[in-house]
Amino acid sequence: MNDERGRRVLVVDDKPDNAALVEAQLTRAGYDVACVDNGREALATVTFDPPDLILLDIMMPDMDGYQVLEQLKGRETTKHIPVIALTALQDRAEKLRALELGASDFLTKPVDRAELLARVRTLLELNDLWKAQGELVRMKDELLSVVSHELRTPLASLVGFTELLLTQDYSEDQRREFLIVMMHEGRRLTALINDFLDLQRMESGRQTVHLQPVDLKPLLQQAIATLGEDLERPIVLDLPAALPQVDADPDRLMQVVTNLLSNARKYSPQGGRIRVSAVMGERGVRVRIEDRGLGIPKEALPKLFQKFYRVDNSDRRSITGTGLGLAICRQIIAEHGGRIGAKSDGEGKGSTFWFTLAFSRPNPVSGDVLIVEDDVGFCRLLEAELAALGLSAVRAPNAEAALDRLATSAPKAIGLDLLLPGISGEEFLQAVAQRSRDAPPVVIITVKDLDGAQRAQLCELGAVALVPKGPEAASQAAARLAEAVIAGAMRP
């Protein structure tokens, strides 16, 4: 059940030979081992960099193992770390003392290798089970609190209105009004349950992000299109001319952006323009969504991203929501390794939400070769082959993104997959050829069987080579692209 790889063990022993032996045995079994030779250092290490398990020698000068144990088990942050006491003593009372002070197990020195590995493994498995159980208890408590606080209110209103409709006589207009309230409450309940389950799945690690290089511009454009037009709350996109790709899970990122944009509209009841912009840093990008809506009171800012938190004041009482949207955004951005935040100059002064994402590769704004290909695995392979030939590359997952990129950079050659989502490879070639007479040479990489006429047409459109997509495709394409780059450089 347990995978040793990467599990971190701290060995605390004042005798270097003993420590080195244990370290070697554990390292060989795949553990990530650190050693310290005294109690004080052990406590400092554990505080700043807690391991999964500690092997603790009892007989040490200055601070002995018992004292270390007492301190470890007395601190909230370290008491859960399992400790195996290492003792040279045959004395039963001393071993019992270590167990009483909180050691989970003990091993007698000289330590037997098989016994060491078996005990470490078992203890880590038990600890994993214990942690999983703790997480289940936490989730159960949270579910209970959600059911008792958050679900009861809309349910009570649904039941209340149903009873009224069944027992009293109302005019047609009133009945309709009640039914509309009931529909809204029903929808709110559904949204609440969906959002809550979504968040639970993410927190329990069952739903993880799958990162790939993503072009932000088309993703943001799509998010804006999804929200539809609202003439009183128009959304404007204001991006730098060339925005490098970021590492992201497109679906999850879409969820974040649509959430922030729909909040910007929802909390701008008087209308107002919404601006989406991006600022490039050295390693990544900061996306900002700025509205001119209700703004956020200062005291609410630190709590905004907490689950179920909603700013409660008269302006917003009629605006429905679950208080989970921002918590979901925070979780998704955290899983991307990014940060998210909000600022506002106060109520009525609008709000700005921002998040950061890392660039896919350092400084990929322009490269020698533009790879137009939606298969990320093949892209990586081709990039590696090109790098081996001294060429840098940028990627575009589809023809639209590639055309955007060509608007701001001038690659020396293009590697093009003909089978692309959206605009086809042939259409892309035509668009490139129409744009400029100096279009870069194109190496076609394709699974398609092309006849003579098709080949001739591709040549006319600027293709200089055709590489069939087989096992050697990446290295062959890299070689053809390198030739194209060199030929271009030698042109007068």
Which residues sit at the interface with ligand ADP, rule CB under 6 A?
263-264, 267, 291, 293-294, 296, 304, 309-311, 316, 321-327, 351
Question: Least separation, in Å, of the C-beta of 266 and ligand ADP?
Answer: 6
Which CA distances in Å does 370 have to 66, 218, 247?
A: 63, 18, 18
What is the Cα–Cα distance from 486 to 465, expressed in whole angstroms?
Answer: 14
Rounded to 10 deg, the angle between the 65-74 and 92-100 helix axes is 20
Residue with Cβ nearer ligand ADP (296 or 391): 296
Please give the distance of CA 311 from its chain centroid, rounded to a whole number: 27
Query: Smallest distance, Å, CB 312 to ligand ADP?
Result: 8
Nearer to ligand ADP, 70 or 232 (CB): 232
The Cα-based distances of 67 to 74, 92, 320 in angstroms read 11, 19, 56
| Residue 11 CB, nearest approach to ligand ADP (Å) | 45
310 vs 480, beta carbon nearer ligand ADP:
310
Return the beta strands (E) in 130-231 as ranges: 212-214
* CB 318 to ligand ADP: min, Å: 12
Residue number, 291 or 385, with CB nearest to ligand ADP: 291
CA–CA separation, 373 vs 447, rounded Å? Answer: 12
Residue that the structure tokens 């003593």 belong to:
89
Residue facing ligand ADP at closest CB distance: 321
Tell me the two tokens of residue 184. Answer: 């809204």
Question: Closest Cα partner for 416 from 376, 445, 377, 391?
Answer: 445
Instruction: Give the length of the chain.
Output: 492
Q: How far is the CB of 276 from ligand ADP (least distance, A)?
A: 12
CB of 339 to ligand ADP, least distance (A): 17
In whole angstroms, how close is the CB of 210 to ligand ADP at the nearest point? Answer: 24
Dig out the tokens for 67 from the structure.
């004292």
- The DSSP secondary-structure symbol of 191 reads H
Nearer to ligand ADP, 115 or 230 (CB): 230
> Which residue in the block uniquely carries the two structure tokens 């993880």?
208
C-beta closer to ligand ADP: residue 264 or 465: 264
Residues 6 or more apart whose CB falls under 8 angstroms from that of 215 comprise 243, 245, 396, 397, 401, 404
Nearest to ligand ADP of 26, 287 (CB atom): 287
What's the distance, CA 298 to chain centroid? 28
Q: How far is the CB of 352 from ligand ADP (least distance, A)?
A: 8
Is the Cβ of residue 39 or residue 293 nearer to ligand ADP in the bound state? 293
We find the least distance from the C-beta atom of residue 322 to ligand ADP, in angstroms, to be 4
Between 30 and 348, whose beta carbon lies closer to ligand ADP?
A: 348
Task: Kindly report whether the peptide bond that precedes residue 218 is cis, defined as omega within 30 degrees of 0.
Answer: no
The answer for residues whose C-beta is within 8 angstroms of residue 483's C-beta and 6 or more apart is 465
- Please report how close the Cβ of residue 350 comes to ligand ADP at its closest, in angstroms: 8
Relative to beta strand 53-57, strand 83-87 is parallel
Distances (CA, A) of 487 to 195, 480, 481, 484, 490: 56, 10, 10, 5, 5
Torsion, CA 196, CA 202, CA 205, CA 208, rounded to 10: 150
Question: C-alpha distances in angstroms, 179 versus 134, 155, 165?
Answer: 43, 14, 9
CB of 191 or CB of 239, closer to ligand ADP: 191
Q: Considering the complex, what minimum distance in angstroms separates the CB of residue 327 from ligand ADP?
A: 6
Of 321 and 338, CB closest to ligand ADP: 321
Helix (H, G, I), strand (E, B) or coil at 12: strand
